[in-house]
Structure 1
């Protein structure tokens, strides 16, 4: 009888330890989309992460996606930063793994600066990596005035925004989001572990991309982990399972030696 009791207790202890280890591996992900898109763009990736037991939030920024009815030329980068900050605060999230895609890198940078204590890890997915005080236009070196045909009536006009599309679809994006600079100076934000991921299409080598990608160079200068993933700029739609796995693997990346915090 004593042996049976001891064996039963051992099994219970092992089961408890296994459950604790399983729970410890589960993350809270906040996936921030890019310009003209919405949380819908990350639905499949989010489903794969959820299937692994993670908690996933896919916020849609004001005026975009299913919130296009709130669209206004007065919406700016600060509006979108506050969207994500408020999600994290009102859902009372901690140890968040936050990702930003494309323009979402501008938004995530602002979130890092504002509430670094709520974040565990940051992943920039083919995203803008600004320095303190830079706007999206500053990063891409638009010294000349914006093309009046592409930026008119207070919105960015792009071919993939089609007026006769059926949901889910891309929507026009307020220009102020691209001209407003972001703050990135909080020491706690600068110390966060970050992964920069470049989506590299078949017709381009990683070496070629690294030479011309300002965001890549900024990430290297800060000592961030650099990863690449095969695919176009919206690789999360081409291979959502692969991108989900990539995000999972990035969580334990740690920063290396930084040449400078502000290259």
Structure 2
């Protein structure tokens, strides 16, 4: 039995996994959907990127979890990648769902313009996307409405704080799920990691939010990764 720790991307809380969690539990696994500090029901909690790493590690340590499959979607691939190496021998696999990955000394917003970073820092939050931003991602109108209604502003500090890694990420056992409606190929940093014999690539014919658009298929892939 694996213990799945599921972490959604920017603006989203644990609720984003509601259509995936029952499928994993029905297969006999433990499932722990995480809300990161600063969003959803924890939106009043100040948070940087390392706060999010600790959020994930706390779930593992407090539950005394073993055979952990830690799953990061979108932004959350950055804290998940950092947490995965700290989980140590309790880690079974890391799964990155169409996500960013951590690079030492780099942040989520490293490639943004100075003006955009300044605006983010001044506001303190990254505002959620609008319904129009979800077009072309394989989502129904109802699914888009559900995401938009549930989203909360994302804490800016988590996007500008640099990542910290003690060893190459390619040494971790990992699966990268590429959602093809969000681009045909992985980003260059992910492509480099996929050269490792410990990493594998899985493609999904859907958009960037597969936990909403194809939860059954995403659950199937996660079960195979376990």
Normalising by structure 2, report the TM-score.
Answer: 0.84
Distance 1:61 1:145 in 2: 26
* Structure-1 residue corresponding to 2:174: 194
2:19/2:215 contact within 8 Å kept:
yes
Give CA-to-partner distance per residue, 1:219-256, whole Å, 9 cap, x none. Answer: 224442111111111011011111000111123xxxxx
Shift of 1:113: 3.0
Distance 2:176 2:129 in 1: 28
* Structure 1 residues 88 and 168: alpha-carbon distance in aligned structure 2, compared to 1, 3 A threshold: farther
How many residues of Structure 1 are paired with residues of Structure 2 in the alignment?
211
Residues 191-230 of structure 1 aligned to structure 2 (within 5 Å): 191-201=171-181, 206=184, 209-210=185-186, 213-223=187-197, 224-230=199-205
* Structure 1 residues 77 and 64: alpha-carbon distance in aligned structure 2, compared to 1, 3 A threshold: same
* Structure-2 residue corresponding to 1:260: none
Q: For the pair shown, which has the larger CA radius of gyration, 1 or 2?
A: 1
Per chain length, whose mean CA-contact separation is higher, i.e. which structure has more relative contact order (CA < 8 Å, sep 6+)?
2
* Structure 1 residues 57 and 115: alpha-carbon distance in aligned structure 2, compared to 1, 3 A threshold: same
2:121/2:157 contact within 8 Å kept:
no
Distance 1:166 1:235 in 2: 12
Which of 188, 193, 208 does residue 233 from structure 1 map onto?
208
Give CA-to-partner distance per residue, 1:96-138, whole Å, 9 cap, x none. Answer: 0111000110111120232222211110010111222221123
Give CA-to-partner distance per residue, 1:158-208, whole Å, 9 cap, x none. Answer: 3339xxx99961100111111111112237x6532111111111x85x3xx
Do residues 171 (structure 1) and 155 (structure 2) align? no
2:95/2:174 contact within 8 Å kept:
yes
* Structure-2 residue corresponding to 1:129: 101
Distance 2:36 2:125 in 1: 15
Distance 1:179 1:221 in 2: 28
* Structure-1 residue corresponding to 2:39: 64
* Structure-2 residue corresponding to 1:41: 16
Do residues 183 (structure 1) and 164 (structure 2) align? yes
Distance 2:213 2:35 in 1: 20
Unaligned residue ranges in structure 2 (runs of 5+): 132-145
* Structure 1 residues 177 and 67: alpha-carbon distance in aligned structure 2, compared to 1, 3 A threshold: same
Helix, strand or coil: the match of 2:179?
strand
Unaligned residue ranges in structure 1 (runs of 5+): 1-25, 252-263
* Structure-2 residue corresponding to 1:13: none
Helix, strand or coil: the match of 1:37?
coil
* Structure-2 residue corresponding to 1:108: 80
Shift of 1:49: 0.7
* Structure 1 residues 221 and 144: alpha-carbon distance in aligned structure 2, compared to 1, 3 A threshold: farther
* Structure 1 residues 96 and 190: alpha-carbon distance in aligned structure 2, compared to 1, 3 A threshold: same
Helix, strand or coil: the match of 2:42?
helix
* Structure-2 residue corresponding to 1:158: 128
* Structure-2 residue corresponding to 1:51: 26
Shift of 1:65: 1.6
